[in-house]
A and B are shown apart, each in its own frame.
Chain A
Amino acid sequence: MTIERFDLVVLGAGFFGAYTALHFRRKGMRVLLVDRESRPWSKASSVNQARVHTGYHYPRSIKTARMANENRDRFLSDHAYAINRQFQKFYAIEKRNSLTNASQFERFCNKLDIPAIETRRPDLFNHDWFEALYVTEEYSFDPLLIRQTYLAMLEEAGVETRYGWRPTQADCDGKNWIITVQREPDTELSTVQTANVINATYANLNTLNRMFGFDEIPVTHELTEMVILHSEELADIGLTIMDGPFVSIMPYGRSGLLSLSSVLYTPKAFSSKPDPHFECQTHRHDCSPQSVRICTDCRYKPPSNATKMLKQLQNYLSKDVELNKHGSLLTVKTKLKSSMRDDGRPTDIRTYSTTPFFGCVFSGKINSIYEIEGFQLNE
C-alpha cells in the first residue's frame, strides 16, 4: 500500500479544524483534513446559537468573557459576509431565580466596558418576570453561510480533504505519525504519514487522544436540542434571560429564523464518561461513543422537547407575539469538567508532543478560532 505524505493532518472538519487546515495551508504546508461525515460541519459547529460573544453571557467567568471580547473584532471583520448586526439584543435578569442580580450584571458590564442600557419593551416581553431588561450589543453569525464559504475556501486553497473517512490506527516511527484512515461503509483503507497532527474532533477528542497515546481531557457531554422558529414580531430581536434555568433566543445568522435554547430542556441526555455514551446509540450500528454521528438527521434521536421550550419562552413574551416552530437541530455538546462551577467555556489548546507533533484544540467558543495560530508545528 502506498503511503501519502502530508505536512499536517487535521482531524475533524468543523469550524476549528477547517480554520486550522486553512491557516497552515496558507503558510505553504501540504495539509490533509479528515472528517467522519461526508457532510462535514454538521454537528456542534452548525448547531449552536450563533452568538458572537461579547461577554454578557458569562457573568461568573470573567476569563471566558474577556477572551470572547478579545477575539471579537477580528472575527467580525473576517466573517462580515455572515454576520447579522440588524437586530436588537436584550438581556433580562429574571426576578426570582437568577444567580446574578441586576446591579451585579451592571457592574460586570461596566468592568468589561460593554454597553447595557436599561429599558422596557412591554409590546414584546412580559415584564412581570424581569427584575430588569437591558439593550445590549451582540451580533450573531450564520454558521451555515460560514460552512459554505470555508468548504469552498479549503478547496480553493488546495487543502486535501477526506470527508466520510475516519482514523482507525495511529503509530509513531519516532519522527512521524503513520495513520490508517478508513472510508465507510465500503471500508477502503489508506495510510498517511505526517510530522504534525491536530485533533479538532470536539465530542470525540478523547477517542483520538487515546488512539495517539495521550491523556484524556476530563469532559462531560450533553445531547442537546436547539429549536428553530419564526416570529413576525421577533424577527429582529434577541433575548437572553439571565442567570439560571431560563431561555435564550437569537437570530440564527441571516436566515430570518430564530434559535431557541433552554437551560432546562436543551440538554436531553448527559454523559460524564470521557467519550459520549447515549442510549440512542444502541439503535445504530454506525454510531457509538467512539464515533458520534450527526444527531439532527438521525431517526433514533430522542423525542423533541420543542413544545416545552416554546411554552417556557412564551411565559416571557407579550401575548401578542406569535411563534411558528420550524424544527430542531441536535448535537452533542462537550464541556470541560473544570468549567462546570463557573459556567465558563475557556478554549483549551494543548500540545502533547513536539516530535512528532500532536496538538489538541478544544473550545466551546467560535470566536476563539485564532488561538490555533499559536501551535508550533514541525517544518
Chain B
Amino acid sequence: MRPFLSTIGWGAGIDRRIAFDLLDRFVSRGGTYIRTATHYPSVDQTSAFGKSNEHLQAWLQANPHSKPKILCEIGAMGHGAKSPVEISSATLLTMVELARGQLFGALWGISIAQLLVGHESTESAIMRALKGQGLRLATTTTVGNAEDEGSSSVFGDDCLFHVDASNIASVATDLYAMSNKSVIIEANSASDLHDSKVMDVCDRFPERIFGVCIRPTSLDSLDRALTQFGQLTSYDKSNDGHSLGGGSVA
C-alpha cells in the first residue's frame, strides 16, 4: 500500500510555492507516487486548465535528479472537463506524448476514463497504443462495471482501478468477488482515512489496495494525512517498503 500525492487543487487555491512545499515534504518523507491529470485543477476556467501539471513540471525541472512515479489521467480536452467516455487511440497516443513532455521519465502510468470499454475494435486499439510504452495502466471505471462489461481482460490483470473513498462499501463487495484486481483509494480528506469502511477494506484486502491517494492543501494537512496513512498500513501484511511510517516528520 502506497500513498499517492494528488495534484487536484494545484493552480486553483494551491499556488506553485505550496505545491513545491508539498512535493518537497512528501518526497522527504519517502513518498514516491503522485497522481495527477492533464486537466487538473478541475475548475471551469480556461486559464487554469493544465496548471497542476505545469507546477509539477516546474518542480521536476528544479529537481532533475528526483525520481517520483507519476500516474497521469489523460483524455480531457478542455477546462472543467472530466475525461470523456470515449476518445480515439490517436488522442490517446498524442496525450501520452504530451504527458511525457510534461512529466519526463517520471511518467510511470496513465489513467483513462471508462472510455472505449465494451467496443471490441477500440479495446485492442488501447492495447496497441500502449504497447511498448512501458507505462502502467489505470482506469476510473469501477471495478464491478469493468467485470460486468467483460472489460477486465481488456485492461489486463495489471490494471489499477481508482475508487472513491465514499464508494468503498460497493468496492469491498467487488474486491471480494474478484481475486486479482488492485485499487487506488481516492481519499477526499484526511477524515476519509479513518473512515471505518475504508479501514475495514484495508483490513480485509491489504494486498489489493495498491495505494491511497491523499489531497493535502497545506503541509499540516499533508502531515496529518501521512500519519493517518501510517495507521492504515499497519494492516498491510504485504508491505513492500513503499509504505510510510506514521511517526517521524523529516
Contacts and interface: CB of A to CB of B under 8 A. Distances in A.
**Pairing of A with B:** yes
Interface of A: 39, 42, 46, 82, 142, 144-145, 147-148, 151-152, 228, 230, 232, 252-257, 283, 296-300, 322-330
Contact of A255 (B49, B53, B64, B90): B90
Contacts of A299: 60-61, 64, 104-105
A228 B100 CA distance: 13
A142 B98 contact: no
Given A228-B98, A326-B38, A330-B101, A148 B128 contact: yes
Interface in B95-113: 95, 97-102, 104-105, 107
B97 A144 contact: yes
A122 to B, nearest CB: 22
B129 A148 contact: yes
A252 B88 CA distance: 13
Q: Which 3 residue pairs are nearest across A and B when measured between Cβ atoms? A: A327-B98, A254-B90, A144-B93
Given A322-B46, A327-B50, A142 B90 contact: yes
B13 interface: no
Nearest to A232: B78
Contacts of A232: 78
Contacts of A255: 88, 90-91, 93-95
A283 B61 CA distance: 12
Contacts of A257: 77, 91, 94
B101 A296 contact: yes
B126 to A, nearest CB: 12
Contacts, number: 91
Q: How large is the interface on B (under 10, 10 to 19, 20 to 34, 35 or more residues)?
A: 20 to 34
A142 B128 CA distance: 15
Contacts of A322: 46, 78
Interface in B66-119: 77-79, 87-91, 93-95, 97-102, 104-105, 107
Given A148-B129, A257-B91, A230 B78 contact: yes
A286 to B, nearest CB: 12
A254 B88 contact: yes
Interface string B125-141: 00011001100000000
A257 B64 CA distance: 29
Contact of A326 (B50, B61, B90, B105): B50
B179 to A, nearest CB: 33
A46 B98 contact: no
Given A148-B129, A324-B46, 17 more contacts: A39-B133, A142-B90, A148-B89, A255-B95, A256-B77, A257-B94, A297-B101, A299-B61, A299-B105, A300-B64, A324-B79, A326-B98, A327-B53, A327-B98, A327-B101, A328-B98, A329-B97
B90 A144 contact: yes
A256 B98 contact: no
Nearest to A325: B50
Nearest to A330: B101
A297 to B, nearest CB: 4
A256 B91 contact: yes
